[in-house]
Amino acid sequence: MATAVKTPRLRKNVLTLGKTGDDLDWYAKGVAVLRARPLSDPTSWRYMAAVHGYPGHASDPFAQPGDKLPSKADQQAFWNQCQHQTWFFLPWHRGYLACFEEIVADAVVGAGGPPDWALPYWNYSDGSAQARQLPAALLNQLDKKGNPNPLWISGRAMSTAAAKLPATHVDLSALKDSPFAGTSGGGDPGFGGVQTGFSHFGGTNGRLENLPHNAVHVDVGGLMSSPDTAALDPAFWLHHANIDRLWEVWTHRDPTFLDPKSKAWLTGTSFQLHDKSGKVVKFTPSQMRDTLKVRHGYHYDDISDPFHAAAQPAVATRSVMAKSAAKPELVAATAGAVSLAGAPASASVVFNQAARMAAVNRAAARPVRAYLNLENVKGKGASSNYDVLVDVPQGKKPLLAGHLSTFGVEAASAAGGKHGGGITTVLEISSLIDTLHRERNWDGGQLDVTFVPNQPGRESQARPGSIKVGRISVYYE
């Protein structure tokens, strides 16, 4: 799938666009062309969305009585292929974006647009309130001429300029950590995810996938909140272009931050999509490392370090720590599952003192790294976001440990599915443990963990009792 080009496409920040004839304007025109194509056409809007996920024709929000579906063999080979909770999350989506960009670019040229059109990205983490609102071009049902706006979709939670992503949901702390690949054994989940085989859904979120990826999906809401319909929303492609850009930022901000060198990641699994002519193309993660050699080739107008040079010493230290061969040790866990709904829910995590002290002693020459595991989250209902807070018993001011998003949980909980164990999210709480010892005289016996719905402007959409965290645990490394 890798090809070299003389003039790569330049993907631009959507906040710098919005004028007639620019890439965002032509994006709308290209989307309109793809939407007019039949579902069975591999270059159509709905077919490309189904590659990510498809809910079935009966639940397809754009289903038409005369729809002709692809053959069952074709659906099995090309639909419901998105990679999540896996170290293939980033390379698979890069290939997916590149093929989509190629298909839209071809439609743009066919409509009289520029040959160098490139997919814009939505940088919601630049620190401004404007960046955290849905791009203006997606908010109006009609365009400036009074015609239907191809970029508008009904049902979004973020449907007005007043609705903004919470600043904590677009935090970029994932960029500070190495290695790329993590472990599913309770410790560091890695920047890019844990080592797996093909994983459509189910398992452990990587750091970048958890935040901001999952949280933004849920905050935008509507079609974006479910993996089976997300790619039907034009916002999906702008969001994922930014996630892809952040992989580039991570790669360039520290020379020790490297993609996996294992053959299992590089060439152990291959994927297949369609190009602009409908021809099948295959690729491996090894072909996704250099954006200039992915299909037509592309780069971004900004991959600067959001933390600047001052952050580098801290990053380097954490990178070295991540290379420790220490095995994560279970030191605390809840007795059972925790149900989540539309109100705050709390649980106590009791520590095994012998295990905790043994882990601390083993790490005598370096700081202990602590990970809060929210294991096997399962259930049904609309996706939700929760702030996860920790405190000592009878504490007065809980500390924010991170965020839990239930994006994809229903897909991972499907009866008879390949991944019946739900989804696990791992939050590093090393600094919080230090704070509790230093400032709150914590005795290391118990932590109180609280889940607070965080969906500004609306109540949690999860049905009471529909989501359960299978276990809350703490691992020391």
Per-residue pLDDT for 309 more than 60? no
Residue 9 tokens read as 């496409």
What is the arithmetic mean of pLDDT over 389-417?
89
3-state secondary structure the chain: CECCCCCCEEECEHHHCCCCCCHHHHHHHHHHHHHCCCCCCCCCHHHHHHHHCCCCHHHCCCCCCCCCCCCHHHHHHHCCCCCCCCCCHHHHHHHHHHHHHHHHHHHHHHCCCCCCCCCCECCCCCCCCHHHECCHHHCCCECCCCCECCCCCCCCCCCCCCCECCHHHHCCHHHHCCCCEECCCCCCCCCCEECCCCCCCCEECCHHHHHHHHHHHHHHCHHHHCCCCHHHCHHHHHHHHHHHHHHHHHHHHCCCCCCCCCHHHHCCCCEEEECCCCCEEEECHHHHCCHHHECCCEEECCCCCCCCHHHHHHHHHHHHHHCCCCCCEEEEECCCCEEECCCCEEEEEEECHHHHHHHHHHCCCCCCCEEEEEEEEEECCCCCEEEEEEECCCCCCCEEEEEEECCCHHHHCCCCCCCCCCEEEEEECHHHHHHHHHHHCCCCCEEEEEEEECCCCCCCCCCCCCEEECEEEEEEC
CA distance 317 to 339: 37
How would you class 454 by CB atoms within 10 Å of its CB: exposed for 0-12, middle for 13-18, buried for 19 or more? buried
Average pLDDT of the chain, as a whole number? 92
CA distance 467 to 100: 33
pLDDT at 320: 35
Residues 88-132: tens digit of each pLDDT: 999 999 999 999 999 999 999 999 999 999 999 999 999 999 999
What is the arithmetic mean of pLDDT over 409-429?
82
Per-residue pLDDT for 46 more than 70? yes
Residue 336 tokens read as 């059972």
Residues 182-237: tens digit of each pLDDT: 988 999 999 999 999 999 889 999 999 999 999 999 999 999 999 999 999 999 99
When pLDDT is cut at 50, 70 and 90, the band that residue 175 belongs to is: very high
Residue 465 CB neighbour total at 10 angstroms = 11
- Give start-end residues of each CATH 1.10.1280.10 domain in the chain: 9-311
pLDDT at 313: 35
Residues 16-44: tens digit of each pLDDT: 999 999 999 999 999 999 999 999 999 99
Amino acid 14 reads V
pLDDT at 273: 98
Per-residue pLDDT for 460 more than 60? no
Residue from 170, 171, 92 nearest 134 by CA: 170
Domain 9-311 has CATH 1.20.58.760: no
Residues 324-378: tens digit of each pLDDT: 567 899 999 999 999 998 789 999 999 999 999 999 888 777 889 999 999 999 9
- Give start-end residues of each CATH 2.60.120 domain in the chain: 324-476
Amino acid 147 reads N
pLDDT at 415: 66
pLDDT at 364: 76
How would you class 187 by CB atoms within 10 Å of its CB: exposed for 0-12, middle for 13-18, buried for 19 or more? buried
pLDDT at 184: 84
Per-residue pLDDT for 322 more than 50? no
What class has domain 324-476?
A: mainly beta
When pLDDT is cut at 50, 70 and 90, the band that residue 463 belongs to is: low
Q: Which of 164-168, 273-277, 420-424, 468-472 has the lowest mean pLDDT?
A: 420-424
When pLDDT is cut at 50, 70 and 90, the band that residue 457 belongs to is: low
